[in-house]
Amino acid sequence: MTLPPLAEVLERLHVVALRLVTRFRGIDAREVALFEGPEGWTEFSPFLEYDDRESSAWLAAALEYGWSPSPPTHRERIPVNATVPAVPAASVADVLARFPGCRTAKVKVAEPSQRLEDDVARVAAVREAMGPEGRIRIDANGAWNLDEAEHAVRAMEHSDLEYVEQPCASIDELAELRRRIARLDIPVAADESVRKAEDPLAVARAGAADLLVIKVQPLGGVSRALRIVAEAGLPVVVSSALDSAIGLSMGAALAASLPDLPYDCGLGTGALFTEDVAAYAAHDGSLPVTRPVPDPAVLERYAVGAERREWWVERLARCHALLAGA
C-alpha cells in the first residue's frame, strides 16, 4: 500500500474520549483517533503510554483499513465473548447483562491491589451466572510470576476454564507453565507475547502457547495479521484493544477472513462504553461484518479539547514519519 499523505489523513480527523461503564485497564475513558479514507472510516488508537515505534504499527493498520480493500471473507457474522472487568463478584451479573446471547466470557484477573481470592470469587460468579454450558477464559495480562500463575490456575480449575490468557510475561515462563499444568487440560493463550514482541512468532516456535490472541491494530493491519496466523500454525482468537466501533469492525474484517475460527472472539467490547461512536453492537452473541459510520453528533459530543487533539495530531504525524522512513 502506498502511504497516503499526512494532510489527507488529518483532513477528516476526529479525536474522541469514550466513557467506560466500569473502570478498565486503569482508565475511565478511552481516547481514539478516527478518520475516513477511500475505503471507509478507520481508527488509530494506541494506548497513551505506548511509544511512537510501537504506535506506528497501529497507524499502519488504520491506513491499510482506510485505504486498501479488505480481503475476501469466509463468514458474515463473528461470534463474540462477554468481557468481565475486575469487578466484585456481586457485580458480575450486571456486567454479563450487557452482553446478551454471549456463550463465552473473558474474565480479567490479577488486577493490582486485588487478591487471588477476589479472582476466584469473580470467576465462580461468572460460572454460576452462565451455567455449565458457558465458556470461561481468564486474562492476567502477564501479571503473575510462574509460581503465582500455577497456583492461580489450580485455584480456578474447578470453574472449567476454556483457557488462561497471558498468565506470565515471558515466553520461558509460559512454556514452563504449560508443562506444569498439562494434566489439567487448560490451554495457555499468548497475547502480549505476540502483539508486543519484536518477533510475534517466537512464542509459537518455543511451544509456549496452545493458541494465540490476535489484535489487528498492534500487529500492523489485517494483511500482516493473516500472515502471522498462517506462519504460526496455531488456532487463534481475534480480540480488540478496547477499540471503538470502527476498530472493532477492523477486527471483524480480520476474523471474517480467517479460514478457521474455532473460538469466540473478543470483539464485543463496545458494550463497555456508555456510548460508542456508531451503532455497532453484538446481537445474539455475534457481530456483523460491516463497516460502521460514526454518528456526527457523537463525534461532537465526545470530542476532546484542543490541547488533547493537538497531542494526537503530533503523535499521528510522528508515527506517519516513521512509516514513511521504513
Catalytic residues: 108, 215
297 sits in the region (left: phi over 0; alpha: psi -120 to 50; else beta) called alpha
139 annotated among ligand-binding-site residues: yes
User: How does DSSP assign 114-167, residue by residue?
Assistant: --HHHHHHHHHHHHHHH-TT-EEEEE-TT-B-HHHHHHHHHHHGGG-EEEEE--
Strand 188-190 with 211-215, pairing: parallel
C-beta separation of 178 from 188 below 8 A: yes
Nearest to 176 by CA among 120, 185, 167: 167
Residues 239 and 265: their CA atoms lie apart, in Å, by 6
Residues 180 and 210: their CA atoms lie apart, in Å, by 14
Interior/surface letters 250-280, b for 16+ CB within 10 angstroms, e for the rest: bbbbbbbbbeebebbbbbbbbbbbeebbbeb
C-beta separation of 129 from 159 below 8 A: no
Which residues make up each annotated binding site for Mg(2+)?
A: 139, 165, 191
Which residues make up each annotated binding site?
A: 139, 165, 191
